[in-house]
Amino acid sequence: MTAHDPRSAPVVSDSDFVRFRDFFYRKTGIMFADNKRYFVDKRLQERMLVSGQTLFRDYFNTIRFQASGQELQTLVNLMTVNETYFYREEYQFRCLVQSILPEVTRRKRPGEAVRIWSVPCSTGEEPYSIAFQLLDTWPEVDRYDIEIVASDIDTTVLDQAKRGLYGDRAVQHVPKPTLERYTRRVRGAYEVIPDIRDSIAFARVNLSDPLSTRQFRNFDVVFCRNLLIYFDDASRRDAAQTIYEALKPGGFVCLGHSESMSRISSLFELRKFTDAIVYQKPLSAEA
Amino acid sequence: MTRILVVDDATTVRMYYRDVLEEAGFAVEEAVNGFEGLEKAVAESFDLILVDVNMPKMDGYAFLRQGRTMPELQAVPAVMISTESAAQDRERAYAAGANLYLVKPVRPEVLTEVATVMAGVVP
Amino acid sequence: MALIRKHPGAPAPAAAEDPLVALEGATAAERREAAHRLAGDPSAVGPLADRLDREADRSVREAILLALGRIGTAEAADSLFALLGSEDVWLRNAAIETLAEMDAAVIGALDGALSDPDSDRRIFAVNVLVSLRHPAAADYARRALAEDAHVNVVAAAIDVLAEIGTPEMIPEIEAAAERFPDAPFLRFAARAARRRIA
């Protein structure tokens, strides 16, 4: 065997792959198709080398039984794409404007608040995307007071989000007219205009701690995309609980495209709209 | 092709149904619990549902009760397959909206026969 | 402009009331918060389990289950195992899930659950094993494999070992399938387990 040759990659057999895939699917809901074999093997091999466990069986035991869950977490981070940019998973913003907000505002008087929470907001692309989309595409945007709250556990990215400075890659999916209207060029970067920057409330939050989010209440919509896949099962339920408590009855939550509430919590109802599947806190729920 | 949705949290059970039913010419989709079952059902249409009782997040009864209020699932035949054999479990299944109730384990020829009859078409 | 900034507010002052009292509060919000606050208090297992028994609001039930899971003691595990016999389908399945998230504390209580006269409860207990990050988990499954009289419990054990088992367990798995010659599903399960383990 070439296990002792430091230059050769550790072996991931066909049945290793299937076993790993089933396990990963159960843990995260993410299923790797056969054509992702190379993608998966490469990352497994990388971690096996780093952790000094070149036999798949040993490494597999680690990710399943390690008490801290650290290695599994590292692996999840590697296996998932964490790039953020403006208008990522845009179909959900379309859904927000076409389906969610019309329902939410059916019960509101003009001038009432519409509250939207973006968590995690990371470096701000998501809350600013929401703002741009509402201003550009929602006909009712002036009828209501829109409050956008943006949160993250990482204060460094929050600071960046507050500054609102972005490069070409981040804004590549934003239509030019929109970019011109809501940003200005600052030393080659795009800076979100002060009116919009100042209208978003940024706050640090730990979503897996229900007690730390007591002041986050009465939201109509929560965007919680591509965060919960990083949590273990218990923390996911905690986070879902936090989101539930943050929502008004009838409020909606949008998860990332490869995520589903089906593996996380039974508190929400399934709502299928034209552009997206989202989840709703039952209207009949006690606040 | 006749499409069957298998809703069960046990991997081995899903694999077994898939093995037997694909052999018989059916197309099979899987869901690990009732909620995921609802998600699959609103995304694609099925000719038959096979659903377990005990599953995390949303059990089989809840799946059926909710499914029967949705246009996508109102009229799709559903076979509830459970480990529980008491008469009250059978009644409960029918009250929730099952068309048929079977007790595990199900023999392959029974599974195929039931699927063929309940889906209403030859695959 | 339509966008209005509203500060999310200073952290709301922690509720002054004794959480054990708030656990019986008039609103679901109050009771949920009480459960969250009790999640770090091992002495709260009794009151939490007691409230759970009488609680109708699912979000409060979920908060209580999460608290019991976080407390993570053997007493908390026992209170959850006790729910496996509940007529409430949601509750018993949610209890299993919570147990599966508890790791070490569960091991002690598993023995009793795995010997329960009710085969469905033994199935539930076996199903807890698959997520346990504990090396003894496989051994419990093997015991059920070798000793349980009920075909569906053995099936559950095979399903668990297909995920957490190792190649030297394959003969035991195949032997278990042979104990039930009238159940072709078990032979399939053994073959599938072999593929998934080897």
- Supply the ipTM of this predicted assembly: 0.91
Cα-trace Rg, chain A: 21
User: Looking at residue B83, which CATH number applies to its domain?
Assistant: 3.40.50.2300
More confident residue, C137 or C5: C137
- Distance, C-alpha A50 to centroid of its chain: 28
Lowest mean per-residue pLDDT among A120-124, A134-138, A180-184, A207-211: A207-211
Reply yes or no: is the peptide bond before residue A120 cis, omega within 30 of 0. Answer: yes
Asked if B10 lies within 8 A of C159 by C-beta distance, the reply is yes
User: Residue C9 has what pLDDT?
Assistant: 60
Q: How confident is the model at residue C162 (pLDDT cuts 50, 70, 90)?
A: very high
Return d(Cα A163, Cα A157) in angstroms, integer. 10
A233 touching C (Cβ < 8 Å): yes
Lowest mean per-residue pLDDT among A67-81, A132-146, C44-58, C59-73: A67-81
Could you tell me which residues come within 8 angstroms of residue A269 by beta carbon, excluding any fewer than 6 positions away?
A279, A280, A281, A282
Q: How confident is the model at residue B123 (pLDDT cuts 50, 70, 90)?
A: very low
Q: List CB contacts (< 8 A) between B33 and chain A.
A: 262-263
Tally the domains of chain B.
1
Q: Does domain A91-280 have CATH number 3.40.50.150?
A: yes
A170/chain C closest Cα distance in angstroms = 22
Average pLDDT score, chain C: 91
Give the one of A22, A262, A272 whose C-beta lies nearest to B33's C-beta.
A262
Whose CA is closest to A60, among A24, A14, A8?
Answer: A24
Could you tell me which residues come within 8 angstroms of residue C13 by beta carbon, excluding any fewer than 6 positions away?
none
Query: For the residues A89-99, what does the mean pLDDT come to?
Result: 97
User: Residue C140 has what pLDDT?
Assistant: 94
C32 touching A (Cβ < 8 Å): yes
Question: Could you report how far apart the first and last alpha carbons of chain C are, in Å?
Answer: 63
Strands (E), A86-182: 113-118, 145-152, 165-166
Please say if the pLDDT value at position C41 is more than 60.
yes
User: Residue C109 has what pLDDT?
Assistant: 85
Whose CA is closest to C59, among A219, A4, A242, A278?
Answer: A242
A163 carries an active-site annotation: no
Domain ranges of chain A: 14-79, 91-280
Return d(Cα B85, Cα B102) in angstroms, integer. 8
Catalytic one among A19, A43, A94, A163?
Answer: A43
- Residue C94 identity (one-letter amino acid): A
Beta-carbon count within 10 A of A171 CB: 22
User: Residue A144 has what pLDDT?
Assistant: 96
Average pLDDT score, chain A: 91
Could you tell me which residues come within 8 angstroms of residue A278 by beta carbon, excluding any fewer than 6 positions away?
A92, A95, A100, A252, A253, A254, A271
Catalytic one among A16, A21, A41, A152?
Answer: A152
Cα-trace Rg, chain B: 13
pLDDT tens digits, one per residue of B2-44: 999 999 999 999 999 999 999 999 999 999 999 999 999 999 9
H/E element holding B51? strand B48-51
Range picked from A136-140, A212-216, B82-86 for highest mean pLDDT:
A136-140
User: Residue A258 has what pLDDT?
Assistant: 87
Q: How confident is the model at residue C10 (pLDDT cuts 50, 70, 90)?
A: low
User: Residue B121 has what pLDDT?
Assistant: 58
Give the one of C93, C151, C192 whose C-beta lies nearest to B12's C-beta.
C192
User: Residue A1 has what pLDDT?
Assistant: 43
Please say if the pLDDT value at position A8 is more than 80.
no
Question: Could you report how far apart the first and last alpha carbons of chain A are, in Å?
Answer: 62
3-state percent breakdown (helix, strand, coil) of chain B, nearest 5:
45, 20, 40
Give the one of C10, C62, C134 whose C-beta lies nearest to A267's C-beta.
C62
User: Residue A2 has what pLDDT?
Assistant: 44
Fold (CATH) for A14-79: Chemotaxis Receptor Methyltransferase Cher; domain 1 (1.10.155)
Q: How confident is the model at residue C12 (pLDDT cuts 50, 70, 90)?
A: low
Report phi then psi at B30, rounded to 5: -120, 150
Return d(Cα A97, Cα A276) in angstroms, integer. 12
Lowest mean per-residue pLDDT among A205-209, A280-284, C70-74: A205-209
Q: How confident is the model at residue A36 (pLDDT cuts 50, 70, 90)?
A: confident
Fold agreement (A14-79, A91-280) = no
Please say if the pLDDT value at position B113 is more than 70.
yes
Can you give the residue range of the structural domain that contains B110? 3-119
User: Residue A4 has what pLDDT?
Assistant: 52
Residue A15 in tokens: 């049945």
Asked if A263 lies within 8 A of B33 by C-beta distance, the reply is yes
Q: Is A7 exposed, middle or buried (0-12, 13-18, 19+ CB in 10 A)?
A: exposed
